[in-house]
Amino acid sequence: MALIVQKYGGTSVANPERIRNVARRVARYKAMGHQVVVVVSAMSGETNRLISLAKEIMPDPDPRELDVMVSTGEQVTIGMTALALMELGIKAKSYTGTQVKILTDDAFSKARILDIDQHNLKKDLDDGYVCVVAGFQGVDANGNITTLGRGGSDTTGVALAAALKADECQIYTDVDGVYTTDPRVVPEARRLDKITFEEMLELASQGSKVLQIRSVEFAGKYKVKLRVLSSFEEEGDGTLITFEENEENMEDPIISGIAFNRDEAKITVAGVPDKPGIAYQILGPVADANIDVDMIIQNVGADGTTDFTFTVHKNEMNKALTILRDKVQGHIQAREVTGDDKIAKVSVVGVGMRSHVGIASQMFRTLAEEGINIQMISTSEIKIAVVIEEKYMELAVRVLHKAFGLENA
């Protein structure tokens, strides 16, 4: 007997028939003698619908009230899933984040899980129930409803698997695994049987939307065995996220995947004095406003001044620009502060980079041959990311996918 956490995304619970289908799969696992915890998202489109409803009343909705609203999407699907299980004669009980007590901090709309009370769930599992838990939501120390950021149900699933020491966390979605890149952009993209945890972390952080980045971080921290599968197919092993890096095989591809992201915007603070403390004076107030910064570039100084460029989420560009113009620009005597949200980030990821040289030059040559200008570059041991003009993004992904031979490995 194993304890399995199964998370179902929005398309997998998009209507009553699909929810019945979820219940049938859960029933099969129960019949094999396993204990099952089910985590569900809201029906597809529902979270967006709720967000736009809020915006109709208040253009920039109060975050506490927004979380109260958007958390209802998952509350509907847990009830429906529990009902569907009962209709199959299976004991089932639904739980909101508050009812489990998924304790989070109070950063509404991007809260972090601090602790999960597993007492009630364990007891119900031992009594033969399937526990159906609402993804994406938690409760802060003062009893406020919080949500974990878009795609946060993945994190709920993995966090529950960690807390309950589950044998496996299965993420059911509308694709049958992790692909070399998004098949909607490159039809030749291939499913990977397995991928290392580190690669998955890079892909998720670089914009692959298969798994929410926090869920991957959680899986790494607690060594949760994670598998991505399709909820629309009966068979198939999906993609396993492994912690072992196998002995390197000569035939292994050097690059595992290409991620892209059009959610970022670039901010440049031009003509800042080239002296100690400037980076801190620019990014300190941005961090204080709870704005996440991704890539950061500072040029070599010339004539005592330099340019400082970084990226933030598009939604936060205006907020960051206001802060910089109001509080920072005059203070540090910067020449100007500009923003550009017509950018995209494209990243190639692969553990094979550790043992192969020339990946960066191959990437840059491929982009150059298409006349695509690179605005920013950042690298890690297993990733090279570039910022380019947004309109070239799909082209860049396609030519890189081909250049690195990803379609036929």
Q: Write out the residues near Mg ion by the rule CB under 5 A.
A: 9, 151
Give the max Cα distance, the chain: 77
| Closer to ligand ASP by Cβ: residue 12 or 311 | 12
Specify burial of residue 131 (Cβ count, 10 A radius: 0-12, 13-18, 19+). buried
In the range 166-185, which residues lie near ligand ASP by CB under 6 A?
Answer: none
| Closer to ligand ASP by Cβ: residue 26 or 171 | 171
Counting other chains too, the contacts that 301-307 makes at CB distance below 8 Å and 24 or more residues apart are 301/274, 304/273, 304/274, 305/271, 305/272, 305/273, 305/274, 305/335, 306/271, 306/272, 306/274, 307/268, 307/269, 307/270, 307/271, 307/272
Identify the bridge partners of residue 337 per DSSP, sorted by sequence position: 269
Q: By CB under 6 A, name the one of 61, 97, 135, 177 that touches ligand ASP.
A: 135
Structure tokens at 329: 């620009």
Residue 41 in the binding site for ligand ASP (CB under 6 A):
yes
CA separation for the pair 38, 304 (Å, rounded): 59
CA separation for the pair 321, 339 (Å, rounded): 7
Orientation of helix 72-87 relative to helix 46-57, angle to 10°? 150
Picking from 148, 123, 124, the residue whose alpha carbon sits closest to that of residue 134 is 148
Of the candidate spans 146-154, 193-201, 279-287, 350-358, the one that interacts with ligand ASP by CB under 6 A turns out to be 146-154
| Closer to ligand ASP by Cβ: residue 41 or 311 | 41
CA separation for the pair 130, 137 (Å, rounded): 19
Residue 152 in the binding site for ligand ASP (CB under 6 A):
yes
Q: By CB under 6 A, name the one of 13, 42, 192, 201 that touches ligand ASP.
A: 42
Picking from 319, 320, 274, 266, the residue whose alpha carbon sits closest to that of residue 294 is 266
Write out the DSSP string of 68-101: HHHTHHHHHHHHHHHHHHHHTT--EEEE-HHHHT
CA separation for the pair 217, 158 (Å, rounded): 9
| Closer to ligand ASP by Cβ: residue 229 or 406 | 229
User: CA separation (Å) from 337 to 286, 311, 320, 321?
Assistant: 13, 13, 10, 7
Of the candidate spans 40-48, 114-122, 163-171, 381-389, the one that interacts with ligand ASP by CB under 6 A turns out to be 40-48
Residue 153 in the binding site for ligand ASP (CB under 6 A):
yes
Residue 73 in the binding site for ligand ASP (CB under 6 A):
yes
Structure tokens at 2: 């194993």
Shortest approach of Mg ion to residue 254 CB, angstroms?
Answer: 28
Residues 122, 110: contact at Cβ < 8 Å? Answer: no
- CB nearest Mg ion: which residue? 151
Size of the site for ligand ASP (CB under 6 A): 13
| Closer to ligand ASP by Cβ: residue 10 or 238 | 10
Residue 151 in the binding site for ligand ASP (CB under 6 A):
yes
| Closer to ligand ASP by Cβ: residue 9 or 138 | 9
Site string for ligand ASP, 5-24 (x = CB under 6 A): ----xx--------------
| Closer to ligand ASP by Cβ: residue 73 or 207 | 73
Q: Among Mg ion, ligand ASP, none, what binds residue 350 when CB lies within 5 to 8 Å by partner kind?
A: none
Shortest approach of ligand ASP to residue 210 CB, angstroms?
Answer: 12
Shortest approach of Mg ion to residue 311 CB, angstroms?
Answer: 23
| Closer to ligand ASP by Cβ: residue 138 or 152 | 152
Shortest approach of ligand ASP to residue 319 CB, angstroms?
Answer: 21
| Closer to ligand ASP by Cβ: residue 112 or 150 | 150
Q: Among Mg ion, ligand ASP, none, what binds residue 129 when CB lies within 5 to 8 Å by partner kind?
A: none
Residue 97 in the binding site for ligand ASP (CB under 6 A):
no
Residues 180, 405: contact at Cβ < 8 Å? Answer: no
Per CB under 6 A, residues contacting ligand ASP are: 9-10, 41-42, 47, 73, 135-136, 150-154
